[in-house]
């Protein structure tokens, strides 16, 4: 069992998968999700089929939402949270994810320095997990309104969660900048033509 989550808009896209792609058979759920560059578009082609309607316009919000759904999906499945994460932003595509992924169809500099690229993902994953947990906690607090029992303490806790999400969202933006910088330094070093 594998999961694939895609979110796209005019400016950027996120593709998140927990599968490493063990074959190169032409199945729509399989090997293409590690592709970057023009093949990334192929990977996103089925995004509408997933039925996700994510209203956020910013890249970081797509990433947060993708991991939110992924965490929900893997909760009851026999899969882990070792994701491959593909990002399309401003005409360039990036791949990061778990250090243990077996890379295929990925530019050589990224394969060679995967330790550097994958190291960017873990703190991002922790930041997003923290934010999504804050969100879940806030939902639980707010659900007291169902019985008309929402109190000032609940509102204060909601405010705390809101501030924590705001701070961590800013941190995630910085982490995305770091990822892109790391990636671009590797790609532009020896293979600028491949970086699309």
Partner 1 sequence: MAPTNASRIVGTRFPTDEGRRLAEVLLARFSDWSSLRIDLTSCDSALLISAFFNSFLQTVSEQDLSRLNDARKIDWNLQYSFQKCNVEEWMRDFQPYSVY
Residues lying near partner 1 in the complex (CB under 8 A) are found at 123, 126-127, 129-130, 132-134, 137, 140, 152-153, 156-157, 160-161, 163-164, 167-168, 171
Tell the smallest beta-carbon distance from residue 82 to partner 1 (Å): 16
Nearest distance, CB of residue 88 and partner 1, angstroms:
26
Query: Distance between CA atoms of 46 and 57, rounded to whole angstroms?
Result: 19
Quickly list DSSP for 88-151: EETTEEEEEE-TT----S--HHHHHTHHHHHHTHHHHHHHHHHHHHHHHHHHHHHGGGGGT---
- CB distance 146 to 169 below 8 Å: no
Nearer to partner 1, 91 or 152 (CB): 152
Matching residue, tokens 């309104």: 145
Q: How far is the CB of 86 from partner 1 (least distance, A)?
A: 23
State which residue, 137 or 182, has the beta carbon closest to partner 1: 137
* Closest separation in Å from C-beta 31 to partner 1: 31
């Amino acid at each position: 069992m594998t999961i694939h989550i895609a979110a796209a808009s005019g400016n950027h896209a996120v593709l998140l998968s927990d599968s490493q792609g063990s074959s190169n058979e032409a199945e729509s759920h399989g090997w293409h999700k590690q592709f970057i560059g023009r093949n990334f578009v192929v990977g996103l082609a089925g995004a509408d089929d997933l039925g996700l309607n994510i209203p956020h316009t910013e890249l970081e919000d797509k990433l947060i939402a993708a991991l939110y759904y992924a965490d929900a999906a893997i909760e009851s499945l026999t899969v882990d949270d070792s994701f491959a994460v593909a990002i399309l932003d401003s005409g360039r595509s990036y791949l990061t994810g778990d250090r243990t992924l077996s890379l295929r169809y990925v530019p050589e500099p990224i394969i060679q320095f995967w330790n550097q690229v994958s190291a960017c993902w873990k703190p991002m994953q922790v930041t997003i997990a923290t934010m999504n947990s804050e969100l879940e906690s806030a939902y639980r607090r707010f659900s007291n309104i169902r019985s008309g029992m929402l109190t000032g303490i609940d509102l204060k806790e909601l405010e705390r969660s809101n501030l924590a999400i705001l701070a961590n969202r800013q941190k995630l933006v910085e982490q995305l900048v770091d990822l892109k910088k790391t990636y671009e330094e590797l790609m532009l070093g020896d293979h600028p033509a491949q970086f699309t």
